[in-house]
Amino acid sequence: MLLRAPMHLLLPLLALALGGGPPAHGLPGPPPDPAAAAREDAARLLGLALAGEPRVEAVQRAAEARAAPGRAEADGWGRRARLAGLVPRLTAEYRHDERSYRVVGLSAGAEVDYLRSMPGDSLSVRLGWELENLVFARGELEAAAAAERAEAKRRAASDRATRLYYQRLRLRLALLAAPPREGRARAEQELELDAVTAELDGLTGLYGEGAP
């Protein structure tokens, strides 16, 4: 004998058989990902800390430009030292002579006594070239040493500016993420930020009164 169930009872059983599962209404969703939330918060804080800041490459270039002449200019010092041999050396000499002689004697029965003066002036101009400098000039060694010193100054200024740049960012980030609750602690932290900013501005000239 066949038993017939009502249709409203058969529909849930058919859904389970087809893999649909029970209705999901009212079930809690997956828990939030702590790592994703931390990444979003870090991106937000970094965006705030970097707001208004120049790129670190611009800071490095500005520090190098203030520390020493550029690399292109320094590279030309050796060439100019060699080409200096084409510049003539000019030597000018001026001479003034005062010559005189005295004549004493008899001439045609008369006594002769007179002084004759013969002043003279001469001017000479000489041009000279040191053509051996076209092959190797002594100034090239000095130019090479000066270029090395300039490169060392640029490198030191760039490294110092990089350290100050990220130190400033860390101070800004600390004030944004967890500002001190005590007034004195916050004032000291802001003073430290101002000191780093002033030093960085003196090194690069990129941070003025409007710096964040």
Residue 176 in domain: yes
Domain count, the chain: 1
CA angle centred on 161, ends 155 and 165, rounded to 5°: 145
Give the per-residue pLDDT at 165.
96
State the chain's mean pLDDT as an integer. 81
Alpha-carbon distance of 82 to 91, in angstroms, equals: 21
Within-domain flag for 23: no
Among the listed residues 50, 21, 196, 44, the one whose alpha carbon sits nearest the alpha carbon of residue 204: 196
* Residue 2, in any domain of the structure: no
**Tens digit of each residue's pLDDT (9 = 90 or more) over 11-52:** 555 555 555 445 555 556 677 778 887 888 888 888 888 888
Residue 194, pLDDT > 60, answer yes
Higher pLDDT, 129 or 6: 129
Range of the domain at 93: 54-204
48 is a domain residue? no
Cβ-defined contacts of 186-191 (< 8 Å, 24+): none
Q: Please, which pLDDT band fits residue 62 given cuts at 50, 70 and 90? A: very high
Tell me, what's the pLDDT at 190?
92
Whether 3 is in a domain gets the answer no
pLDDT score, position 26: 52
**Measured in whole angstroms, how far is the alpha carbon of residue 208 from the centre of its chain?**
17
Mean pLDDT of 113-130: 79
